[in-house]
Structure 1
Amino acid sequence: MHEIYTIKNMVCDRCIASVLTIFEGEGFTVESIELGQVNVVKTEKSNQECNLESLSIQLKKNGFEIIKNDKDTLVEKLKIELINAIEAGRTEQLSQDLALRFGKSYSVLSKLFSKTEGVTLEKYSIQLKIEKVKELIQLGQLNFSEIAYSLNYKTSSHLARQFKMVTGVSMTEYKNAKEWNRKTIDKII
């Protein structure tokens, strides 16, 4: 028998390792784990009901949380899908891809996301992109045009305008300042 836990704020491989350590430390047998989800084997001998409160406390101490309702689960899955799409450079038809992936219209997904998180899906994805731009600027391997192209912007000037609107500084100013005030992905909202 299995039980699946949806976990809020799992956004990277280090998060997966941390959550796995917490679950195993609390005596859970983890069958599989991926961003936002832990599949646990339930056994008759397990004391999982007793450990659930302790597990929740340990997760919260490390910035994670067990999600208990379907709407919050869907929002967390949307976040993970957006993070993965931006990392993979799959942002060209994002609204259509999300609608197909989740079997709901983009407007329904966006309304749910906005109601739950207080920001639209579009603004959230822009914030994710800007943090990715900051990372790419910091790495110094791509010029601004290449960064724009890698994130599927039509022109580098569109990215430049959006970057300045979100951060308050130009990409050149950001690069020259070398004050890498980046946000972690789980702190964007």
Structure 2
Amino acid sequence: MSLLTIRLRQLLLSLGLLLLSTFSTATTIEQMRFEQVVDTAALIFQGEVLAVESRQTGPRSISTYVQFRVDEVIKGSYAGDAIELSFLGGRVGNLQMTVSEMQVPEVGETGIYFVHSLNDSQVHPLVGWTQGHYLIKGESSAAQVTTADGQSVTALEAGNQSPLIILPHEGTARGVQVQGLNGNALPMTPGAFKARIRDIARDSSGGTP
């Protein structure tokens, strides 16, 4: 077994994933409750994807680097106006490294991103993979928040005690209600979504703003 395979396996196992091969891996992602996603994130911000670039980081290793403009910090401390996050895998020339179920943010998208850590390297830098990745669709008064796969979010319910599951591709956190599952509820605006995040963060910290 190569040193690269050992290191990749250690990284993936630390996130509760199952590594099947070095260059093409299958993953299982455990569903989190939405308040866990909020609590786990070191940084939550609203921003726009400015650039995406894959780089070879070793003889047989590739990561994809995504640069975001930071428009608003919702939780955490971050003074910069831009941030770069790395996602394991990508393509450089004829060399390709694939992690199945990996959804990398796309250039031009605007969203709300839950960053796991500002210090430690992760296979996927967002909490719970797609569970920490939300998009903002539309402009001004028509803007709404959707999940990473485009479903309109209608409510965020903390304290949901339903059994957790192993998520399918592009799954979302427990407590995130989407249109079609919540009657005729209207999609959440970015302002309402961010206010709910702040409420959950305040409750989990014992009322400290």
Q: Tell me the TM-score normalised to structure 2 length.
A: 0.25
Q: Which has the larger radius of gyration?
A: 1
Structure whose residues are more often helix by fraction: 1
Q: Tell me the TM-score normalised to structure 1 length.
A: 0.27
**Which fold has the larger relative contact order, with Cα–Cα distance below 8 Å and residues 6 or more apart in sequence?**
2
